[in-house]
């Protein structure tokens, strides 16, 4: 277990040395700052506006970007090792190949959590500077639970990017495939909701919010337990493919 933790530490060190993560924090800050300026000086010029509401807006604007960012990180964490040849350096150590993959996946999850925390921090800080510290319709806990409920969606497409990277070693493919799945297939598949096999697809089972808010269910007879089961099956199959292929393949 200690060895696994040190592998995760390594992944963390590599990702943060590559600058992409710090750059993303800077990027979120700049976007939020622009948003704050526009809202303060143009939209809510003379009205009070809650800093909590602003945080919610920041989350709304950044969530799609974060989703793409995590896909890129998930793909690069594999493809960069092949591109630089460092994959050989990792695989000639005592760590098993499964352990190497798992340490990278845990690292992706940690990055996502930190990005969400940074987003909240930037939202609240800029909100407190530009807007009014007053209560809002939306509560801070709602934003946090909204982030938590987006995890299954973000992590699924991250795993798609990761698996594609293991299979193809191609950064381009590993980013395009999950993006097409998410925004082309994922958003148009709803037209097939009348089909009997619709409920077996991953797409209607990615959004677990209706089970907590009482919104319209994604399909007839949908339940939280059913969605979790379908989600788990898809995740385990993707993970299984990654591990089997990664273990079996000779490294040239």
In degrees rounded to 5, what are phi and psi of residue 50? -75, 145
> From the list 34, 43, 89, 139, which residue makes contact with another protein (rule: CB under 8 A)?
89
CB 192 within 8 A of CB 212: no
Out of 86, 188, 223, 229, point to the residue binding another protein (CB under 8 A): 86
CA–CA dist 46, 76 (Å, integer): 46
Residue 132 per-residue DSSP state: B
Task: Label residues 72-109 b or e (16+ Cβ within 10 Å = b).
Answer: bbbbbbbbbbbeeeebeebeeeebeeeebbbbbbbbbe
Which of 26, 92, 117, 167 contacts another protein by CB under 8 A? Answer: 92
Contact between 10 and another protein (CB under 8 A)? yes
**Alpha carbons 78 and 204: distance in angstroms, whole number:** 29
Site stretch for another protein (CB under 8 A), options 6-14, 41-49, 112-120, 138-146? 6-14
Q: Does 84 contact another protein by CB under 8 A?
A: yes
Nearer to another protein, 7 or 201 (CB): 7
Identify which of residues 96 and 223 has a Cβ nearer to another protein in the complex: 96
19 binds another protein (CB under 8 A): yes
Among 7, 36, 73, 202, interactor with another protein by CB under 8 A: 7
> At a CB cut-off of 8 Å and minimum separation 6, what does 71 contact?
157, 158, 160, 161, 174, 175, 178, 179
In this structure, the number of other CB atoms found within 10 A of the CB of residue 120 comes to 17
Which of 61, 65, 68, 95 lies at the binding interface for another protein (CB under 8 A)?
Answer: 95
Number of shown-chain residues binding another protein (CB under 8 A): 25
Rank residues 92 and 141 by Cβ distance to another protein and give the closer one: 92
Q: Does 9 bind another protein (CB under 8 A)?
A: yes
Looking up tokens 């604007």 gives 61
- Least separation, in Å, of the C-beta of 44 and another protein? 42
Contacting positions for another protein (CB under 8 A):
3, 6-7, 9-10, 13-14, 17-19, 84-86, 88-96, 248, 250-251
């Amino acid at each position: 277990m200690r060895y696994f933790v040190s592998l995760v530490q390594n992944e963390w060190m590599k990702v943060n040395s590559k600058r992409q993560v710090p750059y993303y924090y800077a990027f979120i800050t700049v976007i939020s700052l622009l948003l704050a300026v526009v809202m303060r000086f143009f939209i809510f010029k003379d009205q009070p506006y809650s800093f909590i509401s602003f945080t919610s807006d920041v989350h709304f604007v950044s969530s799609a970007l974060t989703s793409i960012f995590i896909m890129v990180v998930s793909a690069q964490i594999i493809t960069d090792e092949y591109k630089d040849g460092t994959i050989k350096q990792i695989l000639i150590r005592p760590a098993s190949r499964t352990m190497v993959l798992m340490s990278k996946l845990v690292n992706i999850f940690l990055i996502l959590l930190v990005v969400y925390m940074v987003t909240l921090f930037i939202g609240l800080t800029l909100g407190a500077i530009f807007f009014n510290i007053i209560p809002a319709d939306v509560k801070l806990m709602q934003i946090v639970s909204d982030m938590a409920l987006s995890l299954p969606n973000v992590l699924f497409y991250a795993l798609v990017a990761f698996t594609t990277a293991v299979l193809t070693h191609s950064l381009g493919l590993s980013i395009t495939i999950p993006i097409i799945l998410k925004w082309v297939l994922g958003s148009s598949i709803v037209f097939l909701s009348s089909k009997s096999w619709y409920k077996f697809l991953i797409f209607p089972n990615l959004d677990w919010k209706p089970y907590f808010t009482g919104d319209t269910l994604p399909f007839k007879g949908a339940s939280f337990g059913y969605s979790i089961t379908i989600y788990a099956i898809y995740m385990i199959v993707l993970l299984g493919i990654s591990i089997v292929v990664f273990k079996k393949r000779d490294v040239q």
